[in-house]
Amino acid sequence: MSAPVDISPVTLEQIPANQDRRYQLREIFGNDHPIELELGIGKGRFLIQSAEAHPERNWVGVEWASRYYRLVAERAAKRGLANLRVLRDDAAHVVRDTIEDASIDVLHVYFPDPWPKARHNKRRLVQPPFAREAARILVNGGRVKLATDHEDYAVQMERVFKADPDFRQTFRAIGDEAPEGVTNWEVKFRREGRTIHKFEFERVKRSET
Ligand SMILES: C[S@@+](CC[C@H](N)C(=O)[O-])C[C@H]1O[C@@H](n2cnc3c(N)ncnc32)[C@H](O)[C@@H]1O
């Protein structure tokens, strides 16, 4: 049996919902490099590849499923990635309650659970309050990048961010037009020939008061 991997260098401790506390990400990373946040990292292919390719940026991944969280944490710890942290928690809570204002450069939301049944739609992550929180945590000119293979959720994602006055759409592509990404689900969905929708929105500059 192989020795257990010490994941503590790459993990963030949960901040419970009832605590008025936020992560001090610049202190945690020990630098002021731009920070990218991925919600629902799955097996972490995108997050780990990105952290390896861009040591000049910091990467934070949030994942609800303990199994995936542990898998990604172990992979990151084994690679000694000092610019990556993972957190096992609920993505909506993390964004709403634990991230400081204007602290994130890019927010990545790839293939979030589509909750296809109409009575479950309200469980979807991308809803108007989420866009408001995304606007709060992104720096001026920061971006949110989204992808889904679910047609109805794609319509909702685009509608939600287009309706938010703090965002302007900078990119949309469907199917073959969409540039290839590297998340585990995108690789699987492309192999299956599914149509992928991608969007990008820019956080407009805050007016100075
Ligand atoms: C369809 S998978 C996509 C994974 C990855 N983004 C990709 O493209 O390969 C959705 C992921 O989101 C995670 N997830 C679902 N609900 C979540 C929540 N409320 N907070 C954090 N992660 C969540 C799931 O456990 C799963 O790993």
Q: What separation in Å is there between the alpha carbon of 146 and the centre of ligand 1?
A: 13
Q: Is 209 contained in some domain?
A: no
- Residue with CA closest to ligand 1 atom 12: 40
159: containing domain: 21-203
pLDDT per residue as tens digits for the range 114-140: 999 999 989 999 999 999 999 999 999
| CATH number of domain containing 47 | 3.40.50.150
Longest dimension (CA), the chain: 60
Q: Is 63 contained in some domain?
A: yes
* 68 in contact with ligand 1, CB cutoff 6 A: yes
| DSSP SS3 for 32 | coil
The helix (H) or strand (E) run that includes residue 161 is helix 151-163
Count how many domains the chain has.
Answer: 1
* 114 in contact with ligand 1, CB cutoff 6 A: no
113 is catalytic: yes
The pTM of the full predicted model, rounded to 2 decimals, is 0.97
Q: Is 77 contained in some domain?
A: yes
Q: What separation in Å is there between the alpha carbon of 33 and the centre of ligand 1?
A: 26
**Do β-strands 197-203 and 138-148 pair in parallel, antiparallel, or remain unpaired?**
antiparallel
Q: Is 3 contained in some domain?
A: no
| DSSP SS3 for 54 | coil
Q: What percent of the chain has pLDDT over 90?
A: 90
d(CA 201, CA 159): 12
Distance of CA 164 to the CA centre of its chain: 19
